[in-house]
Structure 1
Amino acid sequence: MSAEKTKSDGNQSSERSSERAKGQFDNAVLEPARAYGALTTDYFEKLFSVQFESVRVFADKNLAQSRSWLEVKDSDSFRQVVEKQQQAVRELSEQMKKDADRIQALSQEYLKETQQLTSESMHSGSKQLEENMQKGKAQVEGQFQKGKEEVGNSQQKSQRQADNSKKSTSTSDK
């Protein structure tokens, strides 16, 4: 009966240890990986949005300029198209600067959030390691104490048996 109880206790302990290890793995690896994946996906979504918008604006301006050249009929209309083209170039330059600033801000935000995520993950991992070290130390100390008690009990039992053996020998000698 005692062996079955010990085996059952061992299985339960093993299951608890497995669950604890799974939880630690989830906290240490899976959760940070998911958070990093979400952060990276959001960053690229915003980046592509800025780039696509920039390409759309560039394409629209260029198509408008191409159409305006089709309407040149005299020197006055030619002068107007050239002026519009210069204005379009200035506007595109300003747009490119704005887009570059937006991309730089997105990249800085992404870098900051990635560093924060890494820092939190490292802090969590170090805390978990410290907790595991404390638990391991407590288990070793508990096992050491248990072993010490068992040795003491075994010595006492051996001493009693030796005493009983001496008593029975001295009683049988009389």
Structure 2
Amino acid sequence: MNTTANQYDESIEAASDVSKSALEHFEKLINLQFKAARNYADLALNNTRAGLEIKDLDDAKVYLEKQAEVARDLLASIAKDSEEAVALGRDYADSVQSMLKKSVADVSVPPKKAV
């Protein structure tokens, strides 16, 4: 009976660890999304402000020539954010896999018989 209670406690502890890990992962992912949204909003606002400063044909030419740089910066930012999201996912998957392997190993150990 005591062995069953111990296995139950170990199962609850393992589930709790996985839940905590999931919460930490989602928090990191949300922070990454907030940071990315802020960066994209800043980029859009700065680009719009620059567009509103156009007064003549020369200003328009400079603005339009700069759009290639703006697009490159945006794509680089998206690529960087995507890489960070993938890395977070990998870390989370590795963490959960490690916890599950440990949990399975703990559960599959036969109980010791009382002497």
Instruction: Using CA pairs under 8 Å that are at least 6 residues apart, name the structure with larger relative contact order, 1 or 2.
Output: 2
Structure 1: how far apart are the matches of 2:31 and 2:61? 36
CA positional deviation for 1:82: 1.3
Identify the match of residue 6 of structure 2 among 11, 15, 23: 23
Cα deviations by residue, 1:131-168 (Å, 9 ceiling, x for unpaired): 1xx52xx68xxxxxxxxxxxxxxxxxxxxxxxxxxxxx
Identify the match of residue 53 of structure 1 among 19, 35, 39: 35
Structure 1: how far apart are the matches of 2:17 and 2:5? 18
Cα deviations by residue, 1:118-138 (Å, 9 ceiling, x for unpaired): 1000000011xx11xx52xx6
Structure 2 equivalent of residue 87 of structure 1: 69
Identical-residue share of aligned pairs (%): 30
Provide the secondary structure at the position in 2 that maps to 1:32. Answer: helix
| Number of aligned residues | 115
Which structure would you say has the larger Rg?
1
Structure 2 portions without partners, runs of 5+: none
CA positional deviation for 1:35: 0.5
Instruction: Determine which structure has the larger helix proportion and give its number.
Output: 1
1:60-99 → structure 2 map (5 Å cutoff): 60-99=42-81
CA positional deviation for 1:51: 1.2
1:155-170 → structure 2 map (5 Å cutoff): none
Structure 1 equivalent of residue 24 of structure 2: 42
Structure 1 portions without partners, runs of 5+: 1-16, 140-174
Query: 2:92 matched to 1:110?
Result: yes
Structure 2 length as normaliser, TM-score? Answer: 0.90
CA positional deviation for 1:99: 0.6
Structure 2: how far apart are the matches of 1:104 and 1:122? 27
Structure 1: how far apart are the matches of 2:13 and 2:50? 55
CA positional deviation for 1:24: 2.7
CA positional deviation for 1:75: 1.3
1:131-146 → structure 2 map (5 Å cutoff): 131=111, 134-135=112-113
RMSD: 1.7
Structure 1: how far apart are the matches of 2:66 and 2:45? 13
